[in-house]
Amino acid sequence: MPGIPAYGSGGGQWGGGPGTGDPWVQGGGQFQQNGGGQWGQNSWPQQPGRPARRPGGKPNPLANLQLPKSPVVPAIGVAALIIVVAAGIAVMRGNGSSQQAGNTTPAPSTPTSSAAASPTTNPQEQQQASQLNRLLSESGGDRGDVNRAYLAVMACKALPADQGVFAKAASNRQNLVTQLQSLSTSALNPAMIQALNGAWTASAQADSDYANWAASLTHGCKKGQANKSPVFKASFGPDGTATTDKQKFTQLWNPLAGKDGLNTYQPGDL
């Protein structure tokens, strides 16, 4: 071609075979197809460029492809890009975690109430409860005697003596009611005081009925039939009331007694 000495026939830098003007033909030239020459087929050049034409005179599609001068450069660039991207992700994650940690509000702690741990004691209540506790200690003194007298009447034994035991117990119960009513109980639970008053009043009535029962059998008592007397059945009402009120009282008294270090009671103890 005119003006391009590299493709002149028969020589020059890109000289082909004699008279061909094509560097891809057989026989000599820098790009010989077979064998000798600087760029034979077995030693294809990597850079700086590729010939514009292929064997047979067809355009070479790789002619305009520019290869990097050094394969190390793109490798370094890719590695640097990977490092930059990884560092950016780490920073983003760190900021997100820090923000999330900063936005986290700690759970409020539940304050411990000293009042719940140690209930406050009213001095007036404690004083009145202590006085009532002394009165309660006197309530069970007749219990054993009453039980023994009851069994004796059922067996028709010592009826006058049994009558005296019941009468004494009734008197003692009534005396407890009188003392209870004289106590100052304004700081105590009114329902508790009412239950105790009702229990002792009903017990006094029941003991009085037992005394009348024993007296009624002194003129004739059949063993095993003493509890069939109408006088004995009259004691059922007061006795039931006394039992119910004793249960109400102990349910209210025992928690208070436990708090103030006083005696607790079961219904039968009263």
Statement to judge: residues 127 and 37 lie in one domain? no
Residue 245 lies in a domain: yes
CA dist., res. 166 & res. 204, Å (int)? 9
Paired strand residues for 53 = 59
When pLDDT is cut at 50, 70 and 90, the band that residue 239 belongs to is: very high
Q: What is the pLDDT of residues 68-115, one digit of tens each?
A: 454 444 555 545 556 644 555 554 555 444 444 444 444 444 433 333
Statement to judge: residues 35 and 142 lie in one domain? no
CA dist., res. 157 & res. 143, Å (int)? 19
Per the model's pLDDT, the better-predicted residue between 194 and 27 turns out to be 194
Q: What is the pLDDT of residues 159-180, one digit of tens each?
A: 999 999 999 999 999 999 999 9
Per the model's pLDDT, the better-predicted residue between 214 and 27 turns out to be 214
Statement to judge: residues 135 and 265 lie in one domain? yes
According to the model, what pLDDT value does residue 270 have? 86
If you average pLDDT over residues 57-68, what whole number do you get?
52
According to the model, what pLDDT value does residue 83 have? 60
Residue 176 lies in a domain: yes
Amino acid occupying residue 259: K
Sign of the dihedral defined by the CA atoms of residues 157, 144, 150, 216, in that order: positive
According to the model, what pLDDT value does residue 126 have? 93
Asked if 167 and 212 touch (Cβ cutoff 8 Å), the reply is no
Sign of the dihedral defined by the CA atoms of residues 15, 18, 21, 24, in that order: negative
CA dist., res. 102 & res. 92, Å (int)? 15
Q: In total, how many domains does the chain have? A: 2
Percent of the chain whose predicted confidence (pLDDT) is above 70: 55
Residue 85 lies in a domain: no
Domain extent for 15: 1-43+50-56
> Taking the model in full, what pTM does it have?
0.56
If you average pLDDT over residues 205-219, what whole number do you get?
95
Q: Phi-psi region for residue 26, left (φ > 0), alpha (ψ -120 to 50) or beta? A: beta
Residue 118 lies in a domain: no
According to the model, what pLDDT value does residue 153 have? 96
Closest among 200, 212, 191 to 239, alpha carbons compared: 200
Paired strand residues for 59 = 53
Residue 110 lies in a domain: no
Residue 109 lies in a domain: no
Q: What is the pLDDT of residues 244-259, one digit of tens each?
A: 999 999 999 999 999 9
